[in-house]
Structure 1
Amino acid sequence: MNAPLTKPSNAFIAASWVALLAGMVAFIVGLWNAQMLLNEKGYYFTILMYGLFSAISLQKSVRDQLDGIPVTKIYYGLSWFSTILSIALLTVGLWNATLTLSEKGFYAMSFLLSLFAAIAVQKNTRDTSTTQPVAPAPENRYNAE
């Protein structure tokens, strides 16, 4: 039996959203200012969106399994595959890009920050929507005489 969930703190929820927005905005602003063709920018933007979706899907399917909610093996496997594939596609793209190492590192780190933050935001959203109030602890009643 699972222990009752408590709502994540407002600070953790805010930090998760800030991290997600910071990672996404940094990645997109980097693309906007990059000296690359529009089709290259489209490739990296698509990888970001695919990565975010797959990371959220993976977190949900893992959490569903832990909570005893049925998840088909094909969906669970596709979630893992998609997340790994998005990271691999970014890696291949950056490996072959004519960017400086600092630019490659910037894109890799903002991408990974975005994925991690997307997982945290999804977790917080789920925990907030499924939180059950925790019963107050029973009072200690002493008859001190």
Structure 2
Amino acid sequence: MNAPLAKPSNAFVAASWFALLAGMVAFIIGLWNAQMLLNEKGYYFTILMYGLFSAISLQKSVRDQLDGIPVTTIYYGLSWFSTILSIALLTVGLWNATLTLSEKGFYAMSFLLSLFAAISVQKNTRDARFDQPATSAPENRFSAE
């Protein structure tokens, strides 16, 4: 394992959570107020949720590899694929949408802000966890017994 990392500052943790909530809330309020069919709103909401999950999963698998924690190649690849796919699906949806350019930009930027912030929140959560003194050795569920 690499050298211990410093616990993230409270200001950075707060800024990360604020960015995540701001991006998600802006995206969802935009959908709520949009003049589009419910199935279109559902498509964009699902892309947001899929993107957030895949970004967190990608951050975790990349960080695990850097820390020497085993990550299967298939999971690592799926994490990258899912993150890229969520961005591509949003891009295709916005490209074909009958929205103004400012609306398309709004959705794209709030989506990307949310993904980046989700990665930061995951990083902060992990760094804060590893900064705490361990009372016992962590259990490794993936080791061969």
Is the pair's TM-score, using the shorter chain for normalization, greater than 0.5? yes
1:21 aligns with 2:21: yes
CA-to-aligned-CA distance 1:53-91 (integer Å, 9 cap, x gap): 000000000000000000000000000000000000000
Deviation at 1:132, TM superposition (A): 5.0
The residue number in structure 1 matching 2:66 is 66
Q: For 2:100 and 2:126, how far apart are their aligned partners in 1?
A: 39
Instruction: Give the alignment's Cα RMSD to 1 decimal.
Output: 0.9
Amino acid at match of 1:105: G
- Gaps spanning 5+ residues in structure 1: where? 134-145
- Contact residue 21 and residue 114 of structure 1 kept, 8 A: yes
- Contact residue 5 and residue 132 of structure 1 kept, 8 A: no
Question: Normalising to structure 1: TM-score of the pair?
Answer: 0.90
The residue number in structure 1 matching 2:82 is 82
Larger Rg belongs to: 1
Q: For 2:5 and 2:32, how far apart are their aligned partners in 1?
A: 41
CA-to-aligned-CA distance 1:77-121 (integer Å, 9 cap, x gap): 000000000000000000000000000000000000000000000
Indicate the percent of aligned positions where both proteins have the same amino acid.
92
- Gaps spanning 5+ residues in structure 2: where? 134-145
Question: Normalising to structure 2: TM-score of the pair?
Answer: 0.90
The residue number in structure 2 matching 1:57 is 57
